């Protein structure tokens, strides 16, 4: 009896190229080709760096003040997380067309189980090219794709031909690839582990196999066993389909410490708008609103309140955050403030026959209208009066 052989396992890692910076250049054509970093303010860090500004040594997680010294003529723009999440949802929707097994790893990257997809989309090389083309068609942004028999190699491969490229590793190529792979490129090998490995003469993943698993357990504990497994190309970690986030939040670090009530009020309103818009885009509501505050001395506190009914309208989030701020009653200046909503769940609201029509209308009706206008004409198309001329 003829028996079909099991298809070769393939995992794809899709990584958007300089995502935040690329979105800014997409929305502002006049910035394309210019050195640009997402991150502004003397106490901020760079969230993303365009390929043009990387030529000056600017990198993600670098203090903005340092980045501006390296590239004084560069463009430094504020983070617009709502916009990045918007385009991220489009990317994930594209990936879902290829496989139901898609795991979103962050706002700009995802894993996709590509095992068996060659029957629909051709060999891995063709699949990767099709994914890149579809993402660009839907978002006008580029991504890089890595495909390999195991998850960690797919992630490494996606970084090999950036931006806008692809790298495919077949099973028969794994050993040679690992033998030449710098051990520091293995995801999870950080500074301390790398120091130990370098001290033992380990330069590549192949060098790890010069010692037994017992040897590595003795040096690095369970992490040593894990490293030995990866060096052999073993990684059974599955692609876990997307699970909805458990919270949504927004926060800002001020250019100058403050406890001015009017300033804090406007920041809370802006953040409530961002969080509310994100919740509505996801189609979820949350019952717990949390206020986060960091003082000038870097001490941090949070205050939370659980509501009787789940909400996603800006006004309810804002009013609750404002009440929490009043309870906190800060006695010293703040350097950061933030708002979050969690404990998602949708409970139907029973309206009373005695409620006036205006009261019975959901508070989110205004938000829905604002979302529609902004979705069509852009975030700046309509602004709440309390936020007019408010410099983020």
Contacts of 173 (CB under 8 A, 6+ apart): none
Q: What length is written for the chain?
A: 392
Q: Is 255 marked active-site?
A: no
Phi and psi at residue 306, to the nearest 5°: -100, 125
Q: In the block, which residue shows the tokens 């190529």? A: 173
Supply 263's token pair. Answer: 């300033």
As a whole number of angstroms, the distance between CA 110 and CA 242 comes to 9
Pair 45, 39: CB distance under 8 Å:
yes
The closest alpha carbon to 181, from 195, 163, 210, 160, belongs to 160
103, 109, 125, 273: the catalytic one is 109
Quick one: how far is CA 123 from the chain centroid?
Answer: 29
- Helix, strand, coil shares, percent, the chain, to 5: 45, 20, 35
DSSP 8-class letter at 328: H
Q: What is the torsion angle, in degrees rounded to the nearest 10, for the CA atoms of residue 107, residue 111, residue 114 and residue 120?
A: 0
The closest alpha carbon to 189, from 212, 161, 223, belongs to 223
**Residues that are catalytic:** 109
């Amino acid at each position: 009896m003829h028996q079909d052989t099991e298809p070769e396992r393939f995992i794809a890692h899709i990584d958007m190229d300089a995502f935040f910076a690329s979105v800014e250049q997409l929305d502002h054509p006049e910035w394309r080709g210019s050195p640009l970093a997402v991150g502004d303010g003397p106490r901020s860090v760079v969230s993303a760096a365009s390929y043009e500004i990387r030529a000056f040594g600017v990198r993600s997680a670098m203090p903005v003040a340092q980045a501006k010294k390296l590239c004084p003529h560069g463009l430094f723009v504020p983070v617009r997380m709502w916009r990045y999440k918007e385009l991220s949802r489009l990317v994930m929707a594209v990936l879902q067309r290829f496989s139901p097994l898609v795991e979103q790893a962050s706002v700009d990257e995802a894993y996709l189980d590509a095992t068996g997809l060659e029957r629909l989309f051709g060999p891995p090389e063709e699949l990767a090219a099709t994914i890149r083309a579809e993402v660009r068609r839907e978002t006008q942004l580029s991504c890089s794709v890595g495909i390999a028999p195991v998850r960690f190699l797919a992630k490494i491969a996606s970084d090999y031909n950036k931006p806008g490229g692809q790298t495919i590793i077949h099973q028969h190529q794994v050993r040679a690839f690992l033998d030449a792979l710098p051990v520091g490129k293995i995801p999870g090998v950080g500074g301390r582990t790398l120091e130990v490995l370098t001290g033992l003469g380990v330069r590549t993943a192949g060098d790890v196999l010069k010692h037994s698993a017992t040897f590595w357990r003795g040096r690095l504990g369970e992490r040593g066993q894990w490293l030995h497994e990866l060096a052999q190309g073993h990684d059974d970690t599955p692609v876990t389909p997307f699970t909805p986030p458990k919270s949504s939040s927004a926060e800002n670090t001020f250019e100058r410490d403050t406890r001015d009530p009017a300033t804090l009020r406007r920041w809370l309103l802006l953040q409530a708008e961002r969080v509310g818009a994100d919740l509505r885009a996801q189609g979820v509501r949350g019952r717990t609103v949390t206020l986060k505050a960091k003082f000038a001395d870097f001490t941090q506190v949070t205050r939370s309140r659980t509501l009787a009914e789940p909400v996603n309208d800006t006004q309810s989030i804002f009013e609750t955050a404002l009440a929490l701020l009043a309870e906190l009653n800060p006695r010293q200046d703040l350097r950061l403030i933030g708002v979050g909503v969690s404990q998602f769940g949708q409970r139907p609201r029973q309206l009373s026959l005695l409620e006036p029509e205006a009261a019975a209308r959901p508070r989110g009706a205004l938000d829905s209208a604002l979302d529609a206008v902004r979705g069509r004409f852009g975030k700046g198309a309509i602004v709440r009066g309390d936020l007019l001329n408010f410099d983020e």
